Structure 1
């Protein structure tokens, strides 16, 4: 059952402003220099203060910009890798997210002749229907797509970005949100970074179920869980500081 505090908070959160306008400030030079140095055929784009698309300097990436349906950023005729790194830049640069700590190098170390074939297949698998979180007799639970350098949080965010119209849209697997769910009684035997696809499907479907109970969107529920966990971390840190004093 969805916590009452979540319901009360959710009813005051407009989806467009709370979720789609949730932005991160990104150092584009740092990202694009690393991509160029590794010869990864991708670029990270953002917007400046006037809303113009840029690829150098400090820019802003909204969560809504990650969506395949968004027209704010032109990611080119083959946007897969650009979108993946756009998601990575947002996730890594966002102060409230804890799901990406290393630069995602998507080159396949086992296939130097075709280093990007594996990631291309993984992105195709994420974009295909049924989605990673769809359950049923068809599901063989073969695991996450083989995506070199891409962790579960980034893979889940990419799935969210490319399945905007799906009724059970894949949700962002956030370390803080998953930890918060455990606090509210969800039984799982591993941290978010060790989630199997089956566990991730349970996580995403639970967010949708709570959203239905609260009369809101799954993204709002996930964000509440994220902020609830961070609030408790702040309280704990404050109590520790008082103890040290």
Structure 2
């Protein structure tokens, strides 16, 4: 299988939405915050605690050939108990975090665990079942095809078989958010690296003038490409990494919600 380095970039204007979004300029507060954040600490060291037993017991019960691992307090890789999982650990070739016999399924489930346990990324532990009920003999064929589609070049905008109505690769149990994080993880170093499709970040973009308003679960690939293109363009305007722009948007959303809750409480 060929795994290209190009991702969702090199799209024309009709895909990226650059024409419709050209008037949008990165907020000054975003620039100030992002320029004060060290990428390695803010992004790669974004750590969650993961209950490895909860995940791995369910993987074993479902006979899914994957394992979730993390690090203990000393940084050693472990597969049992409570562990720490860094966002940087989701990338390939990370020191001290070797994956198993099915590395891409391992990576996918580690992405799922990181999202589920992260307080600003959902914080709801839900098991992802990637088995397909259509063919008992090859229960993982669909998800394996989807992961190949994510890894090759071009990844998501390449119109091909095994796509659903919105253009995403068909992958049982894998939503758009999880697929976007998997794409982010495996395309480390790519100049047009796919960014995490986060509901809070997308909502914050609408507060900042982006004329797109729908649940990220209903995003087509075309809309995701547009979201990604805007993050990259804002990052270029500020001279920062697009991951930091996305994180600022996420935190802005939660900050506004907290402020609204305080106002509502004061009004009682």
Normalised TM-score (structure 1): 0.94
- Is the alpha carbon distance of 1:229 and 1:84 closer, same or farther for their aligned partners in structure 2, counting shifts above 3 Å? same
Query: How do 1:135-214 and structure 2 match up within 5 A?
Result: 139-140=158-159, 143-214=167-238
C-alpha separation between the residues in 2 aligned to 1:81 and 1:184?
36
Aligned equivalent of 1:80, options 88, 96, 104 = 104
Provide structure 1 residue ranges, at least 5 long, that are not aligned to the other structure: none
Structure of greater relative contact order (alpha carbons < 8 Å, 6+ residues apart)? 2
Aligned-pair CA distance for 1:71: 2.4
Equivalent residue, structure 1, for 2:64: 40
Aligned-pair CA distance for 1:189: 4.1
C-alpha separation between the residues in 2 aligned to 1:67 and 1:201?
21
Equivalent residue, structure 2, for 1:239: 263
Name the SS for the 2:150 alignment partner.
helix
C-alpha separation between the residues in 2 aligned to 1:199 and 1:149?
21
C-alpha separation between the residues in 2 aligned to 1:92 and 1:30?
12
Runs of 4+ off more than 4 Å:
none
Aligned residues: 239
Equivalent residue, structure 2, for 1:30: 54
Aligned-pair CA distance for 1:69: 3.1
C-alpha separation between the residues in 1 aligned to 2:204 and 2:127?
26
Aligned-pair CA distance for 1:109: 1.7
Equivalent residue, structure 1, for 2:126: 102
